[in-house]
């Protein structure tokens, strides 16, 4: 037996060994004095405790509870649940909140113009559709969205994924235009999100771990940056396929460097330098003086358009081209595309929702309110469905715009309403002004806008420190996105995230426990010193679920802790010359206080395991089973039935007392016992 409480077997709670570098091994330092807790009670077996306090299982009737819940719901709660605007509108403070929303709305609306057009090109859609996407769906989100600070509209990652779908289903050899594919995708994404809402799948997206989201968005940022290089250099690339596109892009760019348009490259370089100077130098200093940032992106777009008009650059550079002025007429998306893009739509729907909700949670925590996971599915689904009739592609929340919206004083989704009003003016009166805008300026804005996402590569060491699985998930997701494709990267990342949960469940936390002298406290002997292990009794703690996938690990680990090979031990006990050692384990106490779930297959394995232990004279005792685990065991005739495989106790201490009592009876009192103190 391990003796870690002194050479004479006496534990002194007043002192502890100094583990410092220069500590004298013979010197002990005083422990902090602990106050005593005195409790006097009999030692219980679980059934005795249940009988003493009339244990019963609450009856559950799903249909009756549903009917009672429906009766309790009034009209007011239905309206506020469906339209979250009525939850915060009564608390709205005029005029302070309104002033902040107006300033923030104008600021974000200005950002929408260059970002919308740039991200539309990223989605292989006409530039004006980016402004449509920042206008029509946002009205719907204003009514149904539960996040008060998310800035909805175009998003780089979603635009990239949209661009891949558009590229795969339009162009040469296809009967569909880019606009038809984009709007059909928007419709299907909205429909899928609404179905997810009806199925109450709001929390399912959190199967996407932080490591997955970080690795995926960082890889997507590399894709975004790479996709803009052709417009920055002013070259044309051939179709590159949907796999290994980034590698092929840089290979083709390398061959076409001699064909670089120097005027195009010069304008792009100047734009990038201006944006970086603003982001790294001017913006941080200005933020200390004014909450409203310089609309540097809009300034570049307007300046570039005026420069193009003045010097007639459309003859030597790629420009945005025709932009229709006014609002588009509603039109039904092409239904023939729905079946072709269904699988790809699921990916876009989940990614857009996950990013939006993750962002919404950040601001909700800061401002002390809650968002509804399923309500967000409703808002995004309804917004995408509505927007698909007005030439929109899928929308989501943007981190960069949301941060500006929050810092500029935005309090509610009235900010979105203000930005939509500004965009309406642009669509009705100003849109055609941007037709001569060089595309290299939009490419520069997009390339610099993903700077923050690219810097997420610094998070990798942190994920490695958090755990091996998190680090592997980040790396493989990133590598899959960059070197294969975005959709494959997402599938790889999702599979790794789910596998992480599975593998961690396969190896639950188990440890041997020892007693804190003169107490009923039991701790992990590998992490604490001075604990007592009682002769003939082995106490093992189990944390997690016990099911078909973890039952083998459970059995093998217990055998390791008991230091036995069960098959050989059974044979040895059957031998006629067998003599049992004096210090052999007679009782196995399993601490199930942290056992969250046990399934019938695990119970079946457990039954046979207990019989095998009994054949080598080891009796199993269970301690601390939760009511759900206890009821499942009773239902499977594991306890309380005719066979009654094991005894159950409410605490480890009760089980150990029973074991000590039995050992004293067998040996005539010649065993160490727990000191009978009032605990």
Please say if the pLDDT value at position 15 is more than 70: no
Query: For the residues 479-497, what does the mean pLDDT come to?
Result: 86
Query: For the residues 363-386, what does the mean pLDDT come to?
Result: 90
Alpha-carbon distance of 426 to 252, in angstroms, equals 38
* pLDDT band of 525, cuts 50, 70, 90: very high
- Report the topology of domain 507-667: Transcription Regulator spoIIAA (3.30.750)
CB burial class (10 A; 0-12, 13-18, 19+) of residue 43? Answer: middle
Q: What residue ranges do the domains of the chain occupy?
A: 95-431+441-458, 507-667
Mean pLDDT over the full length of the chain: 83
The pLDDT assigned to 394 comes to: 96
Query: For the residues 291-311, what does the mean pLDDT come to?
Result: 84
Packing angle, helices 566-574 and 600-615, rounded to 10:
40
Look-up of token digits 């959190």: 206
Lowest-confidence region among 199-208, 268-277, 434-443, 565-574: 199-208
Region for 366 from its dihedrals, namely left if φ exceeds 0, alpha if ψ lies in -120 to 50, beta otherwise: alpha
- At 161 the three-state DSSP class reads helix
Please say if the pLDDT value at position 13 is more than 90: no
Burial letters 469-508, b for 16+ CB under 10 A, else e: bbbbbbbbbbebbbbbbbbebbebbbebbeebeeeeeeeb
Alpha-carbon distance of 372 to 308, in angstroms, equals 47
Please say if the pLDDT value at position 105 is more than 50: yes
* pLDDT band of 186, cuts 50, 70, 90: very high
Packing angle, helices 342-367 and 178-198, rounded to 10:
60
User: ∠ CA 176-179-183 to the nearest 5 degrees?
Assistant: 100
DSSP state, residue 258:
G
The pLDDT assigned to 624 comes to: 92
Please say if the pLDDT value at position 77 is more than 70: no
The pLDDT assigned to 312 comes to: 87
pTM, full prediction: 0.71
What is the per-residue pLDDT across 25-71, written as a single tens digit (0 to 9) for each?
444 455 556 666 666 777 778 877 777 777 777 765 545 554 554 45
* pLDDT band of 8, cuts 50, 70, 90: very low
Q: Which residues are CB-contacts of 567 (< 8 A; sequence separation ≥ 6)?
A: none
Handedness of CA 293, 296, 297, 302 (dihedral sign): positive
The pLDDT assigned to 679 comes to: 31
* pLDDT band of 1, cuts 50, 70, 90: very low
Look-up of token digits 């599979």: 495
Please say if the pLDDT value at position 379 is more than 90: yes
- At 99 the three-state DSSP class reads helix
The pLDDT assigned to 63 comes to: 54
Alpha-carbon distance of 261 to 638, in angstroms, equals 79
Please say if the pLDDT value at position 483 is more than 80: yes
Who wins on pLDDT, 643 or 627? 627
The pLDDT assigned to 12 comes to: 44
The pLDDT assigned to 656 comes to: 93
Residue 413 exposure: Cα atoms within 13 Å on the Cβ side: 26
Query: For the residues 642-653, what does the mean pLDDT come to?
Result: 83
* pLDDT band of 144, cuts 50, 70, 90: very high
Who wins on pLDDT, 487 or 630? 630
Query: For the residues 122-141, what does the mean pLDDT come to?
Result: 92
Look-up of token digits 């429909």: 191
Who wins on pLDDT, 562 or 673? 562
Which contacts of 41-50 are long-range, i.e. CB under 8 A and separated by 24 or more positions?
43/653, 43/654, 43/657, 43/658, 44/649, 44/650, 44/651, 44/654, 45/647, 45/648, 45/649, 45/654, 45/658, 46/622, 46/625, 46/630, 46/639, 46/647, 46/648, 46/649, 46/650, 47/640, 47/648, 49/650
What is the per-residue pLDDT across 435-459, written as a single tens digit (0 to 9) for each?
888 889 888 888 887 787 788 889 8
* pLDDT band of 242, cuts 50, 70, 90: low
* pLDDT band of 669, cuts 50, 70, 90: low
Percent of the chain with pLDDT over 70: 87
Q: What is the dihedral angle through the alpha carbons of 561, 563, 568, 573, rounded to the nearest 10 degrees?
A: -100
Q: What is the dihedral angle through the alpha carbons of 366, 368, 369, 371, rounded to the nearest 10 degrees?
A: 40
What is the SS3 string spanning 403-458?
A: HHHHHCCCCCCHHHHHHHHHHHHHHHHHHHHHCCCEHHHHHHHHHHHCHHHHHHHH
The pLDDT assigned to 673 comes to: 53
Burial letters 289-304, b for 16+ CB under 10 A, else e: eebbbebbbbebbbeb
Packing angle, helices 373-387 and 178-198, rounded to 10:
150
Query: For the residues 83-97, what does the mean pLDDT come to?
Result: 78
* pLDDT band of 614, cuts 50, 70, 90: very high
Alpha-carbon distance of 639 to 647, in angstroms, equals 7
The pLDDT assigned to 654 comes to: 92
User: ∠ CA 297-301-306 to the nearest 5 degrees?
Assistant: 145
The pLDDT assigned to 287 comes to: 74
Element spanning 540, H or E: strand 537-546
Alpha-carbon distance of 245 to 256, in angstroms, equals 16
Q: Do residues 158 and 394 lie in contact, with contact meaning Cβ atoms separated by under 8 Å?
A: yes
Query: For the residues 528-554, what does the mean pLDDT come to?
Result: 90
The pLDDT assigned to 181 comes to: 95
User: Going along 578-663, which residue ranges are E strands?
Assistant: 587-598, 619-623, 647-649
User: ∠ CA 68-74-79 to the nearest 5 degrees?
Assistant: 130
Q: Which residues are CB-contacts of 10 (< 8 A; sequence separation ≥ 6)?
A: none
The pLDDT assigned to 5 comes to: 39
């Amino acid at each position: 037996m391990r003796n870690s409480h002194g050479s004479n077997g006496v534990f002194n709670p007043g002192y502890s060994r100094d583990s410092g570098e220069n500590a004298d091994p013979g010197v002990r330092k005083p422990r902090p004095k602990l106050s005593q807790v005195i409790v006097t009670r009999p030692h219980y077996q679980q059934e005795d405790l249940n009988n003493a306090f009339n244990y019963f299982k609450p009856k559950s009737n799903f249909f009756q509870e549903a009917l009672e819940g429906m009766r309790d719901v009034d009209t007011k709660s239905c309206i506020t649940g469906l339209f979250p605007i009525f939850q915060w509108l009564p608390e709205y403070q005029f005029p302070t909140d309104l002033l902040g929303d107006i300033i923030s709305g104008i600021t974000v609306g200005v950002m929408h113009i260059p970002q919308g057009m740039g991200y539309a090109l990223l989605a292989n859609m006409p530039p004006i559709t980016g402004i449509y996407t920042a206008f029509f769906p946002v009205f719907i989100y204003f009514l149904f969205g539960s996040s008060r600070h998310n800035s909805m509209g175009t998003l780089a990652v979603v635009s990239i994924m949209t661009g891949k779908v558009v590229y795969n289903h339009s162009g040469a050899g296809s009967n569909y235009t880019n606009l038809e594919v984009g709007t059909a995708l928007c419709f299907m994404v909205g429909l899928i999100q609404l179905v997810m809402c009806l199925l109450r799948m709001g929390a399912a997206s959190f199967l996407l771990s932080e490591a997955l989201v970080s690795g995926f968005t960082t890889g997507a940022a590399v894709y975004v940056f790479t996709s803009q290089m052709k417009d920055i250099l002013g070259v044309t690339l051939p179709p590159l396929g949907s796999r290994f596109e980034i590698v092929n892009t840089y290979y083709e760019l390398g061959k076409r460097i001699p064909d670089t348009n120097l005027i195009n490259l010069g304008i792009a370089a100047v734009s990038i330098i201006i944006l970086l100077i603003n982001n790294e130098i001017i913006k941080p200093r200005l933020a200390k003086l004014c909450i409203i940032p310089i609309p540097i992106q809009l300034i570049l777009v307007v300046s570039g358009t005026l420069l193009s008009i003045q010097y007639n650059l459309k003859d030597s550079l790629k420009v945005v081209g025709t932009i229709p002025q006014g609002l588009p007429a509603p039109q039904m998306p092409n239904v023939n595309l729905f079946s072709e893009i269904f699988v790809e739509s699921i990916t876009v729907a989940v990614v857009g929702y996950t990013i939006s909700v993750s962002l919404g949670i950040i601001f909700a925590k800061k401002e002390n309110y809650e968002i509804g996971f399923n309500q967000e599915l409703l808002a995004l689904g309804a917004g995408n469905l509505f927007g698909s009739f007005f030439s929109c592609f899928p929308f989501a929340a943007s981190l960069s715009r949301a941060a500006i919206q929050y810092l500029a004083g935005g309090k509610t989704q009235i900010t979105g309403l203000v930005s939509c009003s500004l965009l309406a003016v642009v669509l009705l009166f100003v849109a055609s002004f941007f037709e001569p805008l060089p595309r290299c300026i939009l490419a520069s804005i997009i390339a610099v806008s993903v700077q923050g996402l690219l810097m997420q590569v610094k998070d990798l060491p942190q994920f490695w420190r958090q755990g091996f699985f998190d680090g592997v998930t980040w790396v493989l997701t990133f590598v899959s996105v960059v070197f294969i494709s975005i959709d494959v990267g997402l599938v790889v990342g999702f599979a790794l995230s789910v596998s992480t949960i599975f593998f961690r469940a396969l190896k639950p936390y188990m440890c041997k426990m020892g007693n804190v002298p003169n107490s009923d406290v039991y701790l992990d002997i590998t992490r604490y010193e001075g604990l007592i292990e009682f002769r003939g009794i082995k106490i093992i703690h189990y944390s997690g679920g016990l099911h078909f996938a973890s039952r083998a690990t459970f059995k093998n680990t217990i055998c390791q802790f008991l230091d036995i090979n069960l098959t050989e031990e059974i044979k040895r006990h059957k031998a006629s010359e067998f003599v049992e050692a004096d210090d052999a384990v007679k009782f196995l106490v399993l601490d199930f206080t942290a056992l969250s779930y046990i399934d019938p297959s695990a119970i079946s394995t457990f039954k046979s395991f207990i019989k095998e232990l009994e054949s080598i004279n080891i009796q199993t005792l269970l301690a601390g089973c939760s009511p759900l685990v206890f009821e499942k065991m009773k239902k499977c005739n594991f306890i309380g039935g005719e066979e009654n495989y094991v005894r159950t106790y409410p605490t480890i201490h009760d089980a150990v007392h029973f074991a000590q009592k039995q050992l004293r009876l067998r040996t005539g009192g010649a065993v160490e016992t727990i000191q009978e103190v009032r605990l």
